Each structure stands twice: as structure tokens, then as C-alpha cells.
Structure 1
């Protein structure tokens, strides 16, 4: 099946807002709580500063974009460019005017040329992905608007396993930027083969003999759709496709793309864990099944374990695609990203990229340091610590973790014990 990639941000007004199916007498379900909860995500914090006058957003060539990225501490080197028409400001996106995306460990920001708004999806430590828009017009008091029902038509659907999340999809992009959905669609993560990634995106960088779907348009010949993967391979200069001058950088860095798809998948899994465990604890209370000693019943424990296991595997890159050739970008993203994060006494960090055989040098996601991880329900953090301890100490040698060598396990365990104190028990 042929595929391309598109990170979808809010799509407004597609279908009527979903109904609240909460029954009379029930305590609020998790989605109802999500919609009404006060949030403490990076945009909410920034808005409080804007309201108080302690921070001001500067209006410039890109509207508020530059100032928003500065306040959220997002590097322009994270820029990736998508030309598919599958997002909110559809009329402003094309192969000649791609949409720009920027990100850090908690925020995703989207910008279009002559766009009417900056779009944002950010991670709240308690509730997961929260969606916002910021009107692109100069004003004394810029206001981020939280988007709920409209965005959740797509961002809390079967695509995201019915929890608020991000969706990275693959299809064929046509010359006008619209996808040919007759070729099918699928969600993309770091599990996806390289040959099935990045159609509908621009990709700058080297990747050797590996071939992807980026940088090129799909075409029909005798009712057969074709994509010239060779033509889109190992491109270092995107100016051959479109005018790069309106953007913050002329790059759509391949390494940034790989990090983007990894962490968006992890963020979805963390939100899913939060929602599933909140549901399990609510059900336990409603059924009055919590024992007197406050230990959870067997059913709740099984639900907690089941919810956490996919996140355990994703944190340790179980099932991730192995690279068959080295990867290098064009924007200096690798060096900047690898220099981040806490380091142990040997100078090792979970932020260090590998990009020869796998994404990270030490196969444990850097998002284990994030507010999203630390904001997981305590039951989840305890279960994750137990599972990671068993795996990293070699007690769990199951197939899901057979990709981890003894050296990998020891290195990750040592790094975590030094850089995330109190999370894993000390080795004896």
C-alpha cells in the first residue's frame, strides 16, 4: 500500500460536536472532565503572562510566530514542511506554499503563509494534548483560544484511539496538494518503514540507499498511481521545489521529522494511559470495590498493567524500524538536539541521537523526563518503574525486548538512575 505523511492539527466545523453520553447519576467520565478541566500546559502559562502584561508577543514578518517560538523555547531548527491539504487552513497550503511545523518536548506549533492563525497542540501534564489557535492579527492583547469540540472530531476519534491526540497519517499527495485517499491511509510512527514515510512532506537530508515518499507528487498513468521515490531521495536543497525565503529556515530536516513522529506517538500513548487509568479508578469507586486497606482490586490492577504495557514498549523502542543506512539532516538539528538533557557522569544522555541503526544512541525515550511523564497517574508511574526495572536488569527477556542488548540495558539503567533520581530502585 502506498502512503504519505501528514501531521493533522485542528480541523474545525466538520461534523456536529459529539454528544455527552454520561448517564444520570454517574460521576463525570474522563472526556467530560477533560473538556471542563483547568489546564496548566505551556500555552496556558504563556497566556497568563500575556494577561498580566509580564510578557508581550512581538508582531513581525511571520505575524506572532517568531515571538511564540521564542517564548515557548522552540528552535527554528525543528522546522518541518508539509504541503498536503489536510489541515485547517487548507486553502493556504500547497506544494508551493507548504505549512511549517515547529516543536519541542511539549509543544507543536503550525504556521502558514498569510495564515489567519497560528495553530498549537501542547501537552498538559494531567490531561494530555490540548489544542489552541492564536489569531494572526496585531493586537494589544493577543489571546490563545482553546479549541475543544471542533478539533476533537478528528483528534479524539478512531485515528487517535478515541483520546485527544495527534495523528500522523500516510497517503499519496497529488499536484494540487490534495491526497488521493483511494490509495488508503494509515497512521505513522517510528514503527513505520522508511519507504512508507513522508509523502506530502518536504525532506532535506541524506539517507543513503533508503527511499521515502517525500519531496515528490503522485501521478496517475493508465489508472495506476506512481511515485518517483528516486527523484525525492537525498535532497539537500528544497529551493528547487518552492521559494524557501518566506520560512524561518530553508530546511525540512529529516532528523527532525524522525524525532517528531517518535514523540507524537509517545505523547498519544501517555494520554491514553492517563485516560484508561482514570476510567479504571472511577469504575472501581463506583462499584465500591476498593478494599479497606486501599489496595486496588485485581480487575483494576489488570487494567493498569494493560494500559501501561504499550507505553513501556514504546519508551524502549520495541518494534521500531531499524535504519539500513545512516541519516543526516541539513539544519544542524542533530547537534542541537543531542546536546540537550541531563547527562550522567560519563556524559551520556537519552537525548543523544544515533541515526545510523536507530533513532537514539541509548534506546529509551527522552520523554521520560517530560512533564507529561511525571504527570501520569501515580499508579502508572509505579507500574512503569516496575516494568522498566525488570527489563533493564534482564529479568524480562521476552521477544518484545529482544532488541535490547545487555549493554543497552545496563547503559539505560545507569543513565536513568543518575539523571532521574528516585524513579528506578538502586542496583544491588
Structure 2
């Protein structure tokens, strides 16, 4: 019996190890390629199939406006990218930028004269799921699930090796083609403004700070030499391209900053979802093979959960956020609309309150703590995150990594979470 069990365990370990090395989000228990029914696009498609919803088509934007309405995405979230960095790149240029729109869980890409709308939406267990919608008049439009092409770029080290989103900043030519040889930046809240938004339009004011947006490289041999002054504090894009072709004339700087935070925060939450589920599945297999109790939790699983939870907490509490040295102001209504959606405590405070003077958020803790992905994390992952949050906010962590949080910040964040998400706060006790 002992010999056969040893052989059985060895076989399992050999089978599991190669899979783990391949980032197996398409294996048990994630099963990424299986039909995703718990995401906004799946729910919209179900309504379309039942006849409870219809999408209107117009010659200028196709299904765009109707899809935004169905997904409850505000046009004020519009940001514009002119680098040729998506699969409809032939239609994209500084004269015809690609438009992106987003809310907390869905993202829609629209290209002038494009064949399809590009959609990325969040499955709370699997991560980001990708669809296209053909830009042709149809009585019953059909969202088509991507079969793996999107995850070539959208499931890499840039997305924590889970299906996710990213914002890339590049040095681009006047055609919109990136100078890949000059390197690119994967940007988020930790990126200095000097590395952000190459190949993007940016509307808004930011004082003496400079970014890479609104301009392109004019010297093919020295593409890093950008005229950053020409792209600074731009509030009107009408001289650069035909803004009337778009739903709004904006590519709001605040929307861009929120988008950068949100995409990487969602990636860390997806990583936490995958790690906790995969490690539990591994324990289940090994417990059965070794005839251990079914609820036995290995030290490896504990380490994996703690590691993923730490990454979530660090990004959630804005560790290493690049400081703002001047005030930021957008040009659209995005700032007002974003803040209005906040869940407020009895003092009127919300984790969606923006600072925009020295940092992004007034209370540096991510609003995605209220997301479906967070709420559907396995119990052990939620409990580990809650415990770490309590330790940090109570001042018990002496590592120095969270010194950017003042005592007033810690108290405010603790009070907001305790009042607006009490079920999580109790897990940390």
C-alpha cells in the first residue's frame, strides 16, 4: 500500500508541476475557456436573446452608444489612444485615435471605420473576458467570445500572468506606429507622469508636470526626444484631429489615472482569485492521494495565499504611488460622475473621493474593495486580506512600506471600511 501511494503521489506531482509552470488559468479549477455566464456581457446577451433588450445602430458609431447604455458606461469616461497597439491597428492613427470607455467592470473600444467593437469585461472568478461585436446592422446582435488571441498580450507578466488589462505608454511615430526598440512602459499608479501616456491623447491641466501624451517622435534615430511642452496642459484637441467624430471631445487626464489604477488593481484581485482556488484544488488532490483530512491546508497553500494577499493590499493602499507635484484637473464630467458613485459613510466620506493635488485618492484605498471579484474571493483569501488591512491601518506593520499613510489616513480608511463593508472588517478580527 505504501509503495503504490508513493507512486501515485509522484505521478500527481509530475503532472501538476508542468501545468503550474504554464500559468494554467485554462485548467481546473479556473477553466477560463469554459462559458462565462457571470459577467456583464453575458447578461446583456441573455437579454438580447430573450428579446428583453435591443441595440440601436447608427451610421456614425455603429452599436457604440447603445452598448455603452446597456453596460451603464458613461461617455464621459472616454480616453483616446493613437498608437497602433490593438488588433484593428490599420484603422488607428493620430488623426483617427481609438476610443476607450469604461466603468468598474467593463471596457469598450471603438475605432472609426472599424469592423468590430472590442469589449473586455470582468468575470469575478476567471478575470477579464474578451468579446467583439460586429459593426453591421443586425436585428439580434451577437457578442463573440475571443478564442485566445487576446490573451497573447492580455495574460502576461504585464497583467500578473492572469487574463487582464493594461495601459502601455510608447514612443510613437507620426503614423502611430510604436518605436518598440526604444522600449515601452506598463503604467499604473506607481509610474511617474514622465513615463505615462505615450501614444495617448490627454486633456486636462497638470501644472509643471510633464507626460508623453499628445505628441509623437519626429526623429526616427532619437525617438525618445519628445516635445513634451507641446503636449502639456492641453484642454482642446480639435486642432489635432476631428473631435466631432467622437462621442465627446475629451481624453480626460483623471479618467486615464483612474483607469491605470483600476486595471492593475483588478489584475491583482484576479491573481488572488486564481491563487487561492488553484492552491486549494492542489491540496484537495494531494489530500486524497495522501489520505489526509479533506480540510488539511498545506504550508505551500498558506504561503501562496499570503503572497497574493500582500500584493492586493499593497496596491489597494497605494504603496509606491508616484506623488503629484501639481494639481490635476480634467476637462470632462468624469471626476464628478466617478465620485458620485461612491458608497459614503455617515460622515459623507467615500473611497471614490479624489484628491488630485498630491495623490490620486483622498483616502488611499481602492474602491474595488466593493467589486464582485473581491466579494467572490474564497474565504481564506478575504480573511488574509482583511487581517493585513487591519494590521497596516492599526499601525502594527513596522516595515516602512506603508509610511505614506498618515495616522489620519489610517483612521479614515478604517472607519470607512468598517461602516461601508462591515462583513469584511469582522473577518480581520
TM-score by length of 1: 0.91
Are the equivalent residues in 1 in contact too, given 2:203–2:253 (CA < 8 A)? yes
Are the equivalent residues in 2 in contact too, given 1:22–1:29 (CA < 8 A)? no
Q: 2:349 aligned with 1:348, yes or no?
A: yes
Question: What per-residue deviation string (whole Å, max 9, x for no partner) do you get for residues 31-57 of structure 1?
Answer: 231112433100011100010110111
Which one is further off, 391-400 or 350-359? 391-400
Structure 2 residue runs without a partner (length 5+): 1-13
Distance change >3 Å, CA 234–CA 296, structure 1 → 2: same
Are the equivalent residues in 1 in contact too, given 2:383–2:427 (CA < 8 A)? no
Q: 2:145 aligned with 1:152, yes or no?
A: no
Q: 2:367 aligned with 1:372, yes or no?
A: no
Distance change >3 Å, CA 346–CA 57, structure 1 → 2: same
Matched residue of 1:149: which SS? Answer: coil
Distance change >3 Å, CA 413–CA 71, structure 1 → 2: same
Partner of 2:315: 314
In 1, Cα distance between equivalents of 2:326 and 2:374: 32
Are the equivalent residues in 1 in contact too, given 2:185–2:196 (CA < 8 A)? no
Are the equivalent residues in 2 in contact too, given 1:290–1:296 (CA < 8 A)? no
Are the equivalent residues in 2 in contact too, given 1:219–1:225 (CA < 8 A)? no
In 2, Cα distance between equivalents of 1:321 and 1:126: 30
Matched residue of 1:233: which SS? Answer: coil
Partner of 2:129: 130
Cα-Cα RMSD: 2.3
Distance change >3 Å, CA 214–CA 23, structure 1 → 2: same
Partner of 2:261: 262
Question: What per-residue deviation string (whole Å, max 9, x for no partner) do you get for residues 94-128 of structure 1?
Answer: 00000000000001110011111110111111111
Matched residue of 1:424: which SS? Answer: helix
Distance change >3 Å, CA 80–CA 399, structure 1 → 2: same
In 2, Cα distance between equivalents of 1:52 and 1:22: 43
Partner of 1:15: none
Which one is further off, 378-387 or 323-332? 378-387
Are the equivalent residues in 1 in contact too, given 2:284–2:294 (CA < 8 A)? no
In 1, Cα distance between equivalents of 2:149 and 2:204: 36
Distance change >3 Å, CA 111–CA 298, structure 1 → 2: same
Matched residue of 1:287: which SS? Answer: helix
In 2, Cα distance between equivalents of 1:159 and 1:427: 31
Which one is further off, 58-67 or 26-35? 26-35
Are the equivalent residues in 1 in contact too, given 2:82–2:94 (CA < 8 A)? yes
Distance change >3 Å, CA 123–CA 222, structure 1 → 2: closer
In 2, Cα distance between equivalents of 1:310 and 1:238: 38
Are the equivalent residues in 2 in contact too, given 1:343–1:349 (CA < 8 A)? yes
Matched residue of 1:150: which SS? Answer: coil
In 1, Cα distance between equivalents of 2:261 and 2:223: 32
Partner of 1:82: 81
Which one is further off, 29-38 or 236-245? 29-38
Partner of 2:140: 141
Are the equivalent residues in 2 in contact too, given 1:157–1:163 (CA < 8 A)? yes
Are the equivalent residues in 2 in contact too, given 1:417–1:426 (CA < 8 A)? no
Matched residue of 1:100: which SS? Answer: strand
Q: 2:312 aligned with 1:292, yes or no?
A: no
Question: What per-residue deviation string (whole Å, max 9, x for no partner) do you get for residues 361-405 of structure 1?
Answer: 111001111112112222211111111111112212322111111
Are the equivalent residues in 2 in contact too, given 1:204–1:238 (CA < 8 A)? yes
Are the equivalent residues in 2 in contact too, given 1:39–1:127 (CA < 8 A)? no
Partner of 1:13: none
Deviation at 1:224, TM superposition (A): 6.0
- Aligned pairs for 1:359-398 (under 5 A) are 359-398=360-399
Matched residue of 1:330: which SS? Answer: coil
Q: Which has the larger radius of gyration?
A: 2
Deviation at 1:275, TM superposition (A): 1.7
In 2, Cα distance between equivalents of 1:222 and 1:368: 45
TM-score by length of 2: 0.91
Deviation at 1:171, TM superposition (A): 1.8
Partner of 2:420: 419
In 2, Cα distance between equivalents of 1:349 and 1:163: 29
Structure 1 residue runs without a partner (length 5+): 1-20
Distance change >3 Å, CA 301–CA 214, structure 1 → 2: same
- Aligned pairs for 1:49-64 (under 5 A) are 49-60=47-58, 61-64=60-63
Partner of 1:4: none
Deviation at 1:158, TM superposition (A): 3.3
Partner of 2:26: 31
Matched residue of 1:400: which SS? Answer: coil
Q: Going by fraction, where is helix more abundant, 1 or 2?
A: 2
In 1, Cα distance between equivalents of 2:302 and 2:247: 48
Q: How many residues align?
A: 408
- Aligned pairs for 1:227-238 (under 5 A) are 227-238=226-237
Matched residue of 1:275: which SS? Answer: helix
Q: Which has the higher contact order (CA 8 A, sep 6+)?
A: 1
Partner of 2:278: 279
Partner of 1:166: 165
Deviation at 1:29, TM superposition (A): 4.9
